[in-house]
Amino acid sequence: MTYRMTMRDLTLDNLDDLMQGQKADVFYSDPPWGQGNLKYWRTMNGQAGYEVDWLKFVERIKWLCERHVTGSMFIETGVRFEKDVVSIWGEPQGRYEIVYKAGNKYLPNILLGYGEQPTADPSGMTGWKIPHTVLSTLPTAPTSVLDCCMGLGTTAKIAKKLDIMCYANELNPNRASKTIAKVGGSDKWEVLGNG
């Protein structure tokens, strides 16, 4: 299976070329948390000074999900930012307290689920076990997943393990390249350019 990726700015791109008329069954992502983290990742990508409002960013991710996903949507966030996500996405059908990194003083972190929920509870889990549990125990088994903030590629790794299609986007080409190398290499990815 070949996975598909773009390296685009979500605030400027609607990801239509990534999806090419297809829709993902599920959305699972861990986007930057809060204004400070969003600014940090933009600076790391050479976009210092290009300010993006955190709430508008969360709104944009929701809009992209509504455009490109037919089923459940899962978004990881820090407990301090849960209220912001809920104010835009609405009350979730599932709320799970998860562990992002052992020893993190801001624990617990939160996974919010919209739509059909997994039959196994990911609460208390850490790392790759979280998306693996969610994606592998949904009552309607997905054949594809969208992650619009791919980062280090945890969702992509789980997609490979479950043999489902992964549509991914990552703002930072260096991080994207590392994930491509870890998840199948360049022969497993169709990279549609950057913008």
pLDDT on residue 69 = 98
Q: Which option is the CATH number for 3-194: 3.40.50.300, 3.30.70.260, 3.40.50.720, 3.40.50.150?
A: 3.40.50.150
Q: What is the DSSP letter of 170?
A: -
| Mean pLDDT split into 10-residue runs, the chain, 195 residues | 90 92 96 76 67 89 97 94 95 92 66 98 92 98 96 92 95 87 87 71
Q: Is the peptide bond before 131 cis (omega within 30 degrees of 0)?
A: no
pLDDT value, residue 2: 87
Q: In what order do the strands lie in the sheet with 165-169?
A: 94-98, 109-114, 73-78, 26-29, 144-147, 165-169, 3-7, 189-194
Q: What is the pLDDT of residue 164?
A: 97
| Cα 110 to Cα 98: distance, rounded to the nearest angstrom | 6
pLDDT at 192: 86
Question: What does the pLDDT read at residue 26?
Answer: 98
